[in-house]
Amino acid sequence: MKIKKATLKDLKKIYEIIEKSEIDEYKLEFSKKSYRSIAKELEKKKRKNLTELKKELSDKNRIFLWKIWRA
């Protein structure tokens, strides 16, 4: 299975899920994990309200996410 590169839209969704989540381990481990491992874990723990997420990312958070993904 080929894994495509994350787009800014993908990163935004991941960030929003983590921020909305009440699971502290995601928040604590977020900067240590790769895009793939975050995506896999989030896929396992999908919540019913994911489609309701509308929070916009600030420029600072976009840069933060991009740096994590590129690392």
pLDDT for res 67: 59
pLDDT for res 56: 42
Q: Could you tell me which residue, 8 or 31, shows the higher pLDDT? A: 8
Half-sphere exposure of residue 6, counting CA atoms within 13 Å on the CB side? 22
> With a threshold of 0.95, does the pTM exceed it?
no
Mean pLDDT of 20-41: 60
Q: How far apart are CA 62 and CA 14, in angstroms?
A: 11
